Amino acid sequence: MEPQKKRVFSGIQPTGNIHLGNYLGAVKNWVAKQDEKVNFFCIVDLHSLTVPQDPADLRFQTRSLAAMLIACGIDPQKSTLFIQSHVSAHAEGAWLLNCITPLGWLQRMTQFKDKSAKQESVLTGLLDYPVLMTGDIIFYDAHEVPVGEDQKQHVELARDIAQRFNSLYEEEFFIVPEPVIPEVGARVMGLDDPTNKMSKSLAHVRGHAIRLLDEPKEIERSFKRAVTDSGNEIAFSDDPEKAGVNNLLGIYKAVTGKSEADVLADFANARGYGDLKKGVAAVTIEMLRPIQERYQALMADPVELDRLLAIGAAQAQAISQPKVDQMKQMMGLVPPRR
């Protein structure tokens, strides 16, 4: 008998512009592993409401991200792709988890401390967000949660909440999930500042990121302006002075899938960084071309996109709602089934 495939859950917020770092560091790996695992990919629109959003903008960004993920290769036949607010079990179950989660656990979260310090008026949802995230994961019995380093503490909290529910109500009811942090190699740095990671919240800044929907001319321009150094040696390096060139080579390597030796061979005859920048731009444009075409086709066919998202939501609801219904029974809200 085939061993049971592990369940993977990951979420991505529909805010900001999806960029090359998100693709090379996260989405590309999700696509590659679709056959090995049972995957749930969720566009977490409820999470986005933890900071104020323009309703029309949020609606558009949510659909646009769904289309982009499919365009990148998330196959709705292989993976369950859905929008969080379409599946009512998330909000319903999060309330139940709220009522077993000590406030102090949430107040300790470093992301809450950082984000709330920067805002004048802090919404309750911002504090409570890790509980909603816990439900996302544990209502699907997910074993693995691929996330960036910044989300590790939230997945650890999810483990604590799952264990607390299990010890209060029924041992082993929830799977205790593990965070899966990608290797550091998958870190794409900002083109304008190669010492800081390329980031969604800065993707609107000119020259910072390559956004997956950028036109070829824009991509060429952004790479051309990329910060390098005053030398001319094209080599992989850990030297912070050479971070710009290292980042460009890293992007070329990730896009082409070539070995470091083959990457360097491609630039053996380059006359300085200008040729490196042109080379990286060319392979990135070629990689993004079919993704952009598929994206445009999906956005032009809203009926098909709705159909795919409705299938995803139905599959997700069929798994998470029974789990939440069982919680309701255990917690004394509805009589247990005989």
**Which residues lie near ligand LTN (CB under 6 A)?**
9-11, 13, 44, 47, 133, 136-137, 145, 147, 151
323 a catalytic residue: no
Tell me whether residue 200 is one of the annotated catalytic residues.
Answer: yes
| DSSP secondary structure string for all residues of 66-115 | HHHHHHTT--TTTSEEEEGGG-THHHHHHHHHHTTS-HHHHHT-HHHHHH
Beta bridge partners of 43: 12, 83
Q: Are the C-beta atoms of 142 and 322 separated by less than 8 Å? A: no
The backbone region for 156, taken as left when phi is positive above 0, alpha when psi lies in -120 to 50, beta otherwise, is: alpha
Q: Is 115 considered catalytic here?
A: yes
Site string for ligand ATP, 144-163 (x = CB under 6 A): ---xx---------------
Q: Does 294 bind ligand ATP (CB under 6 A)?
A: no
CB of 11: closest distance to ligand LTN in angstroms?
3
Q: List the x/- string, 190-229, binding to ligand ATP by CB under 6 A.
A: -------xxxxx----------------------------
CB atoms within 10 A of CB 324: 21
> How many CB atoms neighbour CB 77 within 10 A?
7
Residue type at 295? Y
Catalytic pick among 200, 224, 323, 328 = 200
Nearer to ligand ATP, 12 or 316 (CB): 12
Alpha-carbon distance of 266 to 148, in angstroms, equals 31
Helix segments in 180-301, DSSP class H: 216-224, 243-256, 260-266, 273-299
Q: How far is the CB of 186 from ligand ATP (least distance, A)?
A: 5
Q: Residue 155 or 281: which CB sits closer to ligand LTN?
A: 155
| Amino acid identity for residue 89 in this structure | A
Q: Which of these is catalytic: 6, 78, 115, 224?
A: 115
Q: Which is nearer to ligand ATP, 60 or 95 (CB)?
A: 60
Least Cα distance to 83 among 95, 72, 70 occurs for 70
Q: Is 188 in the site for ligand ATP (CB under 6 A)?
A: yes
Residue 316 binding ligand ATP, by CB under 6 A? no
Under the binding rule (CB under 6 A), the answer on residue 13 touching ligand ATP is: yes
Least separation in angstroms between CB 62 and ligand LTN: 13
Cite the active site residues. 115, 197, 200
State the residues that interact with ligand ATP by CB under 6 A.
12-13, 16, 21-22, 25-26, 147-148, 186-188, 197-201
